[in-house]
Chains A and B, each alone.
Chain A
């Protein structure tokens, strides 16, 4: 049994007589203790989908189950209890402006009728987890975005939930602060085994945080799988688009014009292949020259994914040979045509 199960969940919005479909028959299984991401462009229905999990958004159709328990059929009171087990953080933090940081956290404890005498202690504990012990009596207005989100995380953790929902939780933060928040999330995922469901349009976040992910487009999940696989070998157009942008593999057109002879190939390598000296071995073995046009190694969910754009010069048959030898050693190799507008790709069978 999965921790969170969505079965054919749809959400329709009715306005002025017309119906729009925000989420269209989405089924997902999210396992206990994993960090699961949902990516997509804005308007893809990600936020609406995540909000069905704690019923901030009632699904028009389908089932939402947590530990096998159907949420839509719960009584108001049981739903309230259930929600205490599902923390949530938001893009705009959503802290109570008229309360201090400590009071904001205390509110969540009051919600679960946490024993009054122990509240102060628990608040201190929570502040410690997110490193804000010195801000207990400050008002949210006085905090930076990153600090506000840390308060948001502390509030979400107040009642020791098993699930943490993150709705674009880093989208309002700068790169450095995002990194900081991601590290806290990774830490609490490992430390407490909390299942995290994270919605974002930022592929950089996906790369660093998610174990598995789903890609949404027009309310539907169009692709799903381990994060590394989706980055290394995307299947559908939307995933390819998102991934290529994140890996930034665009080749400047000017550069293509200057490469007159030889072959331009795009090499993808991964895992242990990332560390073997493929190029230098080949250039010793064969009479070809390699010049590296563009290269990048990305670490996705802790695994290396390398992309190398190489220009090979030499005799035609030697070049052919080298390409075939390369194909044996790398994950994927593509021939890039000299025509800079059309990038023709020839795929080889790779090991």
Chain B
């Protein structure tokens, strides 16, 4: 095995791969975070009998999210390629991949956010309603702060899934760490590249999990 050649490959591609992954994951996570929280909140509010009960809206949003989530990411990515072209003007590259990554992550995170909101003690919500508080006040002062630790855990979960999804983005030439592992490590039997990328992925995932746990713990008063 030619270790020198492996090191050459890593030297030439590793930094760019990490940057590409960071872009894909960062941009799509940011989008998923904002839209996902809103969708999760919408589902929570429309599903709650005492807030804005609206069964049909709840049903529609839930159906769309489930539809997105039922497709394996690789299929979703090809299916959304016209959308990616329309938005980014590109058919390949990390920008194109980010479109489908964002949509997949949004669907994923919105369910997690909904679960986090549902986990807020119903009694506390009822007590807040009983004090005569307005809906915005209940949202800002009760629902969101009480759900925050669970939301933070959900964010690290979503980031970790996104790193997994982004490996498949190599299929449309998006680059990234996963792509490097497949291109050189798997297709060209370069075990050193494979090992290095695997270690990097493990470290990133561990750090994300640890960071999420610590942050969740810090915000939890329980």
Same complex for A and B? Answer: yes
Residues of A within 8 A of B127 (CB): 88, 90, 94-95, 152, 155
Residues of B within 8 A of A54 (CB): 130
In contact, B145 and A56 (Cβ under 8 angstroms): no
Number of B residues, CB within 8 Å of A: 23
**A-B pair number, CB within 8 angstroms:** 84
Residues of A within 8 A of B124 (CB): 94-97
Give the secondary structure class of A's interface.
mixed
Residues of B within 8 A of A96 (CB): 124, 128, 141-142, 145-146
Contact A158 B131, CB 8 Å, known A92-B123, A94-B123, A98-B145: yes
Give the secondary structure class of B's interface.
helix
Contact A94 B132, CB 8 Å, known A107-B142, A111-B137: no
Residues of B within 8 A of A152 (CB): 127
Alpha-carbon separation in the docked complex, A139 to B222 (Å): 9
Number of A residues, CB within 8 Å of B: 33
Q: B205-222: contact bitstring with A at CB < 8 Å (1 yes, 0 no)?
A: 000000000000001111
Residues of B within 8 A of A85 (CB): 132
CB < 8 Å neighbour of B129 from A56, A110, A112: A56
In contact, A56 and B126 (Cβ under 8 angstroms): yes
Which has the most chain B C-beta neighbours within 10 Å: A87, A94, A140? A94
In contact, A159 and B132 (Cβ under 8 angstroms): yes
In this assembly, does A123 line the interface, its C-beta being within 8 Å of a C-beta of chain B? no
Closest partner residue, chain A, to B140 (CB atom): A110
In contact, A110 and B133 (Cβ under 8 angstroms): yes
Residues of B within 8 A of A119 (CB): none
Alpha-carbon separation in the docked complex, A141 to B221 (Å): 7
In this assembly, does B2 line the interface, its C-beta being within 8 Å of a C-beta of chain A? no
Nearest CB in chain A: distance from B160 CB, A: 25
Residues of B within 8 A of A107 (CB): 128, 131, 133, 137, 141-142
Alpha-carbon separation in the docked complex, A49 to B146 (Å): 28
In this assembly, does B134 line the interface, its C-beta being within 8 Å of a C-beta of chain A? yes
Closest partner residue, chain A, to B147 (CB atom): A98
Nearest CB in chain B: distance from A119 CB, A: 13
Alpha-carbon separation in the docked complex, A84 to B137 (Å): 14
Residues of A within 8 A of B145 (CB): 96, 98-99
CB < 8 Å neighbour of A86 from B130, B134, B148: B130
In this assembly, does A321 line the interface, its C-beta being within 8 Å of a C-beta of chain B? no
Nearest CB in chain B: distance from A246 CB, A: 28
Alpha-carbon separation in the docked complex, A80 to B133 (Å): 7
Alpha-carbon separation in the docked complex, A5 to B12 (Å): 81
CB < 8 Å neighbour of A83 from B121, B129, B146, B219: B129
In contact, A56 and B50 (Cβ under 8 angstroms): yes
Nearest CB in chain A: distance from B48 CB, A: 12
Alpha-carbon separation in the docked complex, A97 to B149 (Å): 12
In contact, A111 and B221 (Cβ under 8 angstroms): no
Residues of A within 8 A of B141 (CB): 96, 99, 107, 110
In contact, A83 and B131 (Cβ under 8 angstroms): yes
Alpha-carbon separation in the docked complex, A81 to B131 (Å): 9
Closest partner residue, chain B, to A155 (CB atom): B131
Which has the most chain A C-beta neighbours within 10 Å: B132, B148, B220? B132
Nearest CB in chain B: distance from A15 CB, A: 13
Nearest CB in chain B: distance from A46 CB, A: 16
- B108-157, CB < 8 A from A: 121, 123-124, 126-134, 137, 141-142, 145-146, 148
Contact A83 B130, CB 8 Å, known A98-B221, A141-B222: yes
Alpha-carbon separation in the docked complex, A159 to B101 (Å): 49
In this assembly, does A108 line the interface, its C-beta being within 8 Å of a C-beta of chain B? yes
A-B interface, 5 closest residue pairs, ranked by CB to CB distance from nearest:
A83-B132, A111-B133, A84-B132, A94-B127, A94-B123
**Could you write out 18 A-B pairs with CB less than 8 Å apart?**
A56-B130, A80-B133, A81-B132, A83-B130, A85-B132, A87-B130, A94-B121, A94-B123, A96-B128, A97-B124, A98-B219, A110-B133, A110-B141, A111-B132, A111-B133, A111-B134, A159-B131, A165-B130
